[in-house]
Amino acid sequence: MTVFPLPATLIEKHVSAALAEDLGDAGDITTLATIGANKQGKAAINARKAGRLAGLDVAAAAFRLVDPGISLTARATDGDILKPGDTLLEVSGPVRAILSAERVALNFLGHLSGIASATSHLVEAIEGTGAKIVCTRKTLPGLRAFQKHAVRCGGGYNHRFGLYDAVMIKDNHIAANGSITNALRAAKKELGHMVKIEIEVDRLDQLEEALKERADVIMLDNMAPDMLREAVTLAKGKAVLEASGNITIETVREVAETGVDVISSGWITHSAPNLDLGLDYLDT
């Protein structure tokens, strides 16, 4: 899988907002008061812990938007495996600008690399099984495009981006329609031919009903490995099967080995801890 770059306009919009959040109306008063406008310097962002890189273009944008005169040299690429001490980005130019952009750059980079790292742990845990790790809509408000990008940097795939780009029929939708059959027929009747339709099932008889109505994807919600295996036996090749619910690094391989196609995790976007990274100033 390739890592896709984030749209440049998305990066600029969110990094500008983050800089405004940190600089406010008065700016970086510490730096303005203690560092001269002409002082030049050099620094590098280095990994402090092992992990997976995500957000380097975003971090670079933070420096560039504070001062287009800063010069930036990337020493790594999104998706790279990081060892402690690895240099990711070198920056040189006015010290004021470097100091003022530092925290915004690190906040993006540490958070996104944390997600990439968490994802990569799950991906590595299921290596060879053929299953894919995917993210969910359990993302942090305003950061979804960035978090979904980070998941890909960690070797995961993206589920739908929002309520708008694919159908996911859950128990309430089913209940309101009386049956899985009715709910799937309603979705197919109402929506265009470019929309994939997924439905959530808890039991194997529901799975059979969903297969009969040719759902594109079936989410097997919180099923134990044995039931997942039965589901795979029933459905393999007829629909994409997605296992979901309480996926952890300890349980993920067992789930993957049942033969499901896709395993989804909310944890990698809503709870992955920050990856430890820092900016080190270099003597010049």
| Shortest Cβ 198–a second copy spacing (Å) | 7
In degrees rounded to 5, what are phi and psi of residue 144?
-60, -45
- Looking at residue 25, the DSSP 8-state letter turns out to be T
Question: In which residue are the tokens 């402690």 written?
Answer: 84
Q: Does 37 bind a second copy (CB under 8 A)?
A: yes
The residues carrying an active-site annotation are 103, 138, 170, 200, 221
Q: Does 177 bind a second copy (CB under 8 A)?
A: yes
- Judged by beta carbon, residue 88 or residue 134, the one nearer a second copy is 134
Query: CA torsion angle for 274, 134, 266, 164 (degrees, to 10)?
Result: 110
Instruction: Tell me the CB-side half-sphere exposure of residue 111, using CA atoms within 13 A.
Output: 19
Q: Does 260 bind a second copy (CB under 8 A)?
A: no
Candidates 42, 87, 225, 266; binder of a second copy (CB under 8 A) is: 266
Q: Does 278 bind a second copy (CB under 8 A)?
A: no
- Judged by beta carbon, residue 30 or residue 233, the one nearer a second copy is 30
Q: Does 229 bind a second copy (CB under 8 A)?
A: no
Beta carbons of 198 and 242 less than 8 angstroms apart: yes
Q: Does 52 bind a second copy (CB under 8 A)?
A: no
Candidates 40, 71, 73, 172; binder of a second copy (CB under 8 A) is: 172
Q: Site for a second copy (CB under 8 A): how many residues?
A: 104
Candidates 38, 83, 189, 250; binder of a second copy (CB under 8 A) is: 189
Residues sharing a CB contact under 8 Å with residue 76, sequence separation 6 or more, in sequence order: 53, 56, 82, 86, 87, 88, 89
Q: Does 2 bind a second copy (CB under 8 A)?
A: yes
CA distance linking residue 65 with residue 48, whole number of Å: 25
CA distance linking residue 91 with residue 98, whole number of Å: 8
Subset of 73-92 contacting a second copy (CB under 8 A): none
Amino acid at 131: A
Query: CA torsion angle for 73, 273, 121, 207 (degrees, to 10)?
Result: -120
- Residue 258 sits at the vertex; the CA angle it makes with 252 and 264, to the nearest 5 degrees, is 45
Closest alpha carbon to 73 in 95, 89, 57? 89
Q: Does 163 bind a second copy (CB under 8 A)?
A: yes
Q: Does 173 bind a second copy (CB under 8 A)?
A: yes
Q: Does 126 bind a second copy (CB under 8 A)?
A: no
Q: Does 18 bind a second copy (CB under 8 A)?
A: yes
Q: Does 270 bind a second copy (CB under 8 A)?
A: yes
Torsion sign, CA atoms 102, 105, 107, 110:
negative
Instruction: Tell me which stretch binds a second copy (CB under 8 A): 81-89, 176-184, 204-212, 225-233.
Output: 176-184
| Shortest Cβ 113–a second copy spacing (Å) | 11
| Shortest Cβ 85–a second copy spacing (Å) | 18
- Judged by beta carbon, residue 59 or residue 223, the one nearer a second copy is 59
Q: Does 165 bind a second copy (CB under 8 A)?
A: yes
Q: Does 158 bind a second copy (CB under 8 A)?
A: yes
